[in-house]
Structure 1
Amino acid sequence: MQKVFFHYADRNLSIKEKKSIHQSIEYIFQNENKPLERIDYIFCSDDYLLEINKTYLQHDFYTDIVTFDLSNEDSKETIGEIYISIDRIIDNAKKLHQPLFNEKLRVIFHGALHLCGYLDKKEVDEKLMRLKEDFYIQYHLNK
């Protein structure tokens, strides 16, 4: 049964290897010992994500990703919605001199890692998050 879904709100994003990326996301949850029921990725524009950021988080700034854990308190399985700004992915890839595909993977995996319990607000947490992202990007690229 499929557990990972990609949707498009107001922007479309070409993602090659969708099936392989779905498998890598499921591997993240397996490897992190976090049961996964369903995860929905919604790709959108900066403006679309800004409205979500304002409405639900009271943040009035652009971001590349917003993750919502919708898991039931009584269930051990994870359910989540992850909103990703295509505009931010493209800009960040240019700024960081990264291939666009790698930046797509980084943000996609970043959301999954949030649902696995990883944080990124403190410097020590951010470093661990980056290490995890790099690990799973390499896993994906080398499988």
Structure 2
Amino acid sequence: MIEISIHSDKWYNVIDDPEKFVKNIINVYLEKLKIANYQPIISILMADDSVLHKLNLEHRSQDKPTNVLSFSYEKLSPECFLGDIAISVDRIIAESVEYEASILSHTAYLILHGLLHLLGYDHEQEDEETKMQSLEEEIMAELNIKKVLM
């Protein structure tokens, strides 16, 4: 089950139906990762910089906004509560301009990035980063979505 909470109305200015878009893209990712049969519970917070700044400071001691944060709760198993993903519309807009990517592509990429974190992928070590980036690139290419180069 995918739970969506839209905390910032700015999302409606950049995506026609943000809730539907996010649910659809998460379900596609679960299929591509071959884990849809687990039916994990994933909560998505669609917020702005002020919320992501607060969460980043509180949970990572980083005094700045960020584009995506993931909070994993349970390991993947049938009907588990996999975790929360929070994304900032303000960061997505700014980064879409900076990286010359569409809002939809960048949102899709950041949701995938957050989902992979929930599944235990990381980019703290070079080998982990390479593995995570390869999987991101593979899935984005399969879906014909331009991966944002950050």
TM-score, normalisation: structure 2: 0.76
Q: What SS does structure 1 have at the residue aligned with 2:41?
A: strand
Q: Is 2:23 the partner of 1:23?
A: no
Q: Is 2:5 the partner of 1:7?
A: yes
Aligned partners of 2:68, 2:37: CA distance in 1, in Å? Answer: 21
| One-letter code aligned to 1:30 | K
Gaps of 5+ in 1: none
Aligned partners of 2:6, 2:90: CA distance in 1, in Å? Answer: 13
2:132 to 122, 129, 139: 129
1:23-64 CA distance string (max 9 Å, x none)? 213224425x99452001101111111101111222212211
Aligned partners of 2:43, 2:96: CA distance in 1, in Å? Answer: 23
Q: What SS does structure 1 have at the residue aligned with 2:70?
A: strand
Provide the aligned C-alpha RMSD in A: 2.6
Q: What SS does structure 1 have at the residue aligned with 2:65?
A: coil
Aligned partners of 1:105, 1:57: CA distance in 2, in Å? Answer: 23
> 1:51-90 residue pairs with structure 2 within 5 A?
51-71=54-74, 76=77, 77-90=80-93
Aligned partners of 1:119, 1:60: CA distance in 2, in Å? Answer: 21
- Structure-2 change in CA distance of 1:6 and 1:140 (3 Å): farther
| One-letter code aligned to 2:132 | M
Q: How many residues align?
A: 137
| One-letter code aligned to 2:114 | G
CA offset at residue 124 of structure 1?
3.4
- After TM superposition, the structure 1 stretch with the greater mean CA deviation from structure 2, 59-68 or 130-139, is 130-139
Aligned partners of 1:78, 1:35: CA distance in 2, in Å? Answer: 11
Query: Does structure 1 retain, via aligned residues, the 8 Å contact 2:73–2:82?
Result: yes
Aligned partners of 1:61, 1:18: CA distance in 2, in Å? Answer: 25
Aligned partners of 1:53, 1:19: CA distance in 2, in Å? Answer: 24
Gaps of 5+ in 2: 146-150
- Structure-2 change in CA distance of 1:22 and 1:121 (3 Å): same
Aligned partners of 1:140, 1:131: CA distance in 2, in Å? Answer: 14
